[in-house]
Amino acid sequence: MIGFIRLMRPAQWTKNLIVFAGLLFSANLLNTHLLLRSALTFAVFCVLSGSMYILNDLLDIGHDIHHPLKSKRPLPLGTVSPAHARIAIPVLILFALIASWVLEPRLIIVVGTYAGVMSAYSFWLKRFPILDVLVVSFGLLLRALAGTVVISVEVSLWLFVCTILLALYLALCKRRHELLTLDEVAMKHREVLGDYTDKLLDQMIAIVTASTLIAYALYTISPETVAKFHTRNLVLTFPIVLYGIFRYLYLVYRQRAGGAPERLLFSDRPLLFTVLLWFGAVYIILYV
């Protein structure tokens, strides 16, 4: 059981916190009923994303044995057998689909789309450069979309843009870390890394970094946002976001980190403090 839990990568479940974005920015965070629905959606995506991680590990056993960290996962180590992993995948997906249907019938469309897209990524799409990081970003976007569907609020175009840009930023930084860390065995771990160069990734990261900051800045000062929250003060959170983005770049370029964003969030105190400070500032501006 411990091996199966590790196989579902609970450390990466922090990515599913994006489910609460719709709740936070619809000013419904203090609504206990909607908060419970969002929390249950978060749990559904923990199960569903866990099944996708198992599928990905099952298909990548041959590559993961060449990775300094992934070689210690349950499947390469043999603590969980491939046969048991094959049984667990459809069981977990079916559970997530049923739970989403019970929670909100429309949610099953988002959950089913996520399962289909991420399965296609594991089997096929991860082999194509650029498309591989775009698909990963789309997966994070679907999580955010699920958070709006389950509480029946309108999907904001700003949420769409900011989420996919931030996800793309993290995915590109991760590719850069893998390319430079694994060096000569990079292609043995992830075939698509052979189509990237450090200079290409640097250019793409620079573009996405600027786009993410501009998109968030425009969101905070847009007439739509000001009219919705009846305040112009959300722009005061922009310096916090600016520091957080730059801090992450510092860790990627100077500390050679970025391979596991979910671990970096909790291991780097300045970055964790920045995230908490941003959340606190948004809460005070929108709720207090």
Report residues of the chain scoring pLDDT below 70.
62-71, 183-189, 259
Question: Are 145 and 28 within one domain?
Answer: yes
Domain boundary pick from 125, 155, 185 = 155
Question: Are 121 and 183 within one domain?
Answer: no
Predicted confidence at residue 57, as pLDDT, reads 83
Tell me the CATH number at 74: 1.10.357.140
Query: How is residue 115 written in tokens?
Result: 């399962």
Question: Are 151 and 225 within one domain?
Answer: no
Predicted confidence at residue 68, as pLDDT, reads 61
Question: Are 238 and 129 within one domain?
Answer: no
Predicted confidence at residue 64, as pLDDT, reads 66
Q: What is the pTM of this model?
A: 0.88
Question: Are 4 and 140 within one domain?
Answer: yes
Question: Are 186 and 103 within one domain?
Answer: no
Question: Are 151 and 8 within one domain?
Answer: yes
Predicted confidence at residue 137, as pLDDT, reads 93
Question: Are 116 and 31 within one domain?
Answer: yes
Question: Are 185 and 125 within one domain?
Answer: no
Domain boundary pick from 113, 135, 155 = 155
Domain boundary pick from 106, 137, 155 = 155
Its domain, for residue 59, covers: 1-155
Predicted confidence at residue 107, as pLDDT, reads 95
Whole-number Å distance between alpha carbons of 246 and 79: 39
Predicted confidence at residue 5, as pLDDT, reads 82
Question: Are 27 and 151 within one domain?
Answer: yes
Count of domains forming the chain: 2
Question: Are 148 and 243 within one domain?
Answer: no
